[in-house]
Amino acid sequence: MKRTFPLILVFIFGIIGIITFIIPHPIVQNLDESIRNDILKILVAFALVLGLGSLLKVHMDKIKRKRENWKYSWILIISFLVSSIIGLFGGVEGAGPLRTSIGSFHFDIQTLYENIFMPLGATMFALLAFYMASASYRAFRARSYEATLLLITAFIIMIGIIPLGEKISPHLPSFAQWIMTVPNVAGQRGILLGVALGIIATSLKIILGIERSWLGGGE
Amino acid sequence: MNISPDPWVWIAALLSLAIFSFLYKENPFYRIAEHLFIGVANGYAVTFYWHNILMPTLFDPLFRQGKLLYIIPFIIGILYFTRFIPRISWLVRIPIGITIGYYVGVSVPATTQAFIIKQIQGTVLTSTNFQAWNAGSWGIVWSVIVFIGVLCSLSYFYFSKEHKGVLGVTSRIGIVFVMIGFGAAFGYTVMARISLLIGRLQFLLGDWLGIIQ
């Protein structure tokens, strides 16, 4: 019961997921719509609550046991609670009962998102440019045939899509474009077909109950 | 120099610098910014899910419009929290099973359609594909290169037989296409990151310090 019932559910919902693609009948389509738009959206929201609970638990535990860098956990917890309260009671763009402005200074959740989350996210990804440059240098030092091929392609693509490429040679942008549309497509398509077969095989294994690791341990 | 008087621009700028400080070495400023990022991101997620999903999809229909059928997804959702009660913790498998089951079910025909049928349609040697290149008679050559490239790339990932003989030759050709594919993806990713970096520098030097327009 404890393992069989969830496996039956996976099978039933898996089959529903498959047949909605094949059968265009309104009954099947309506069923699919209510599963996708109502049930699953709600379940994902509850899963998020569970995930946030786990995140807070981990950091509370870190503070309690005074583990390494425990003081920073306070920043995470406080910023999470403050932004949640502002978002839940202040509403999106300050439309809720909680006042989210002092004079012309606004601190609603959208403002926090635009001025804290977005710059931090963009800077973190921008930081990766430096690490990718360092990684490509190390790959180049490996001096294998494959690594060289990879880096030369990357270099042509990078130079070819910026104005400098056209200054070096008027043929460079069109050569970069050719690489993108011909040999790159062949390589990516080969990988994609392999990945797709892997996805289908794993999905069928889960639906048929052969792959059961998602059940976790225990009874 | 025309420094911004907006406190939010200052906050965003100082947080950006805190992240950039990681280039020197890991330091308290970076750690503060990192933890703040996670906290605010999750706070925003809570707000988003509450206002855009839980309220309009569950609580409004259930408690305000009296649609009692919504009690079913509500109860199934609550089962997630049985994870904390050891005696009935197995019930958490019900919402997980429904979610996994539906999504893997949908992925089977969707993947077949988009990643297998469409890709094969684009690879096979047909007159439609030759013309799709808009390259005249070169279209045939490009189509043949793509066709050979896909077959050789697939043969590189075929590990059930030792890469010797014909398979050895095709897999060696395949790795050339695969590496060109990786190189193109790498080049594009680097350019995307560089454009983000340019955006941040424009923000710091323009919006914040007012050195550039």
Q: How confident is the model at residue A92 (pLDDT cuts 50, 70, 90)?
A: confident
**Distance between CA atoms of A123 and B198, rounded to whole angstroms?**
10
Taking one residue from A and the other from B, the number of pairs with CB-CB distance under 8 angstroms is: 396
- Which DSSP symbol is given to A171? T
Residue B13 contacts residue A115 (beta carbons within 8 Å): no
Please give the biggest Cα pair distance in chain B: 71
Contact B33 A133 (CB under 8 A): no
B53 within a domain of the structure (yes/no): no
Residue B149 lies in a domain: yes
Classify residue B158 as left (phi > 0), alpha (psi -120 to 50) or beta.
beta
Tens-digit pLDDT profile for residues B7-37: 999 999 999 999 999 999 999 999 999 999 9
| Interchain contact, A116 vs B46, CB within 8 Å | no
Across the strands, what pairs with A102?
Answer: A105
In a domain, B206, yes or no: yes
Low-confidence ranges of chain B (pLDDT < 70): none
Chain A CB contacts of B36 under 8 Å are 75-76, 79, 116, 120
Q: What per-residue confidence (pLDDT) applies to B45?
A: 95
Where in chain A does DSSP place strands (E)?
101-102, 105-106
Is A10 in contact with B97 (Cβ distance < 8 A)?
Answer: yes
In the predicted model, what is the mean pLDDT of chain A? Answer: 92
CB contact under 8 A, A41 and B83: no
Tokens read off for A63: 């503070």
As a whole number, the mean pLDDT across chain B is 94
How far is CA A31 from its chain centroid?
28
Q: Is residue B81 part of a domain?
A: no
Q: Measured between alpha carbons, how far is A182 from B177 in angstroms, rounded to an integer?
A: 10
Is B42 a member of any domain? no
> What's chain B look like in SS3?
CCCCCCHHHHHHHHHHHHHHHHHCCCCHHHHHHHHHHHHHHHHHHHHHHHHHHHHHHHHHHHHHCCCHHHHHHHHHHHHHHHHHCHHHHHHHHHHHHHHHHHHHHHHHHHHHHHHHHHHHHHHCCCHHHHHHCCCCCHHHHHHHHHHHHHHHHHHHCCCCCCCCHHHHHHHHHHHHHHHHHHHHHHHHHHHHHHHHHHHHHHHHHHHHCCCCC
Cβ–Cβ under 8 Å, residues A110 and B44: no
Q: Which two tokens stand for residue A167?
A: 């200054």
Residue B37: inside a domain, yes or no? no
Query: In sequence order, which residues have a C-beta less than 8 Å from that of residue B73 and are 6 or more positions away?
Result: A38, A39, A42, A43, B58
Q: Which of A170, A149, A147 is nearest to A159 (CA)?
A: A170
Tokens encoding B195: 């454009």
Task: Please tell me the predicted confidence (pLDDT) of residue A100.
Answer: 86
Q: What residues are paired with A106 via a beta bridge?
A: A101
Looking from the CA of A72 toward its CB, the CA atoms found within 13 Å total: 15
Residues sharing a CB contact under 8 Å with residue B207, sequence separation 6 or more, in sequence order: B4, B9, B13
Q: What is the tens place of the pLDDT at every residue in A119-153?
A: 999 999 999 888 888 887 887 777 788 888 998 99
Number of domains in chain B: 1
Contact between B43 and A119 (Cβ < 8 Å): no
pLDDT at B202: 96
Q: Are B197 and A126 inside 8 Å of each other by CB? A: yes
Stretch A2-23: mean pLDDT: 94
Distance from CA of A200 to the nearest CA of B (A): 5
Q: How far is A58 from chain B (nearest CA, A)?
A: 13
Mean pLDDT of A86-94: 85
Q: Does pLDDT of A218 surpass 80?
A: no
The answer to whether A62 and A73 have CB atoms below 8 angstroms apart is yes
Residue of B20, B73, B106 with shortest CB distance to A127: B20
Is the pLDDT confidence value at A94 over 90?
A: no
Q: How far apart are CA B199 and CA A192, in angstroms?
A: 32
CA-based nearest distance B166→chain A, Å: 18
- Chain-centre distance of CA B139, in angstroms? 32
What pLDDT does B1 receive?
75
Q: Which domain holds residue B187?
A: 124-213
CB contact under 8 A, A189 and B122: yes
Model ipTM?
0.87
B187 neighbourhood in chain A, CB within 8 Å: 153-158
pLDDT bracket for residue A67 (50, 70, 90): very high
Could you tell me if residue B180 is inside a domain?
A: yes
What is the C-alpha to C-alpha distance for residues B36 and B139, in angstroms, rounded to an integer? 53
Output the CA–CA distances (angstroms, integers) from residue B134 to A170, A174, A180, B146, B148, in the order listed: 20, 14, 15, 15, 20
Residue B27: inside a domain: no
Nearest-by-CA chain A residue for B159: A194
With beta carbons under 8 A apart, name residues in chain B contacting A182: 142, 145-146, 149
Q: Determine the distance in angstroms separating the CA of B3 from the nearest CA of chain A, rounded to an integer.
A: 17
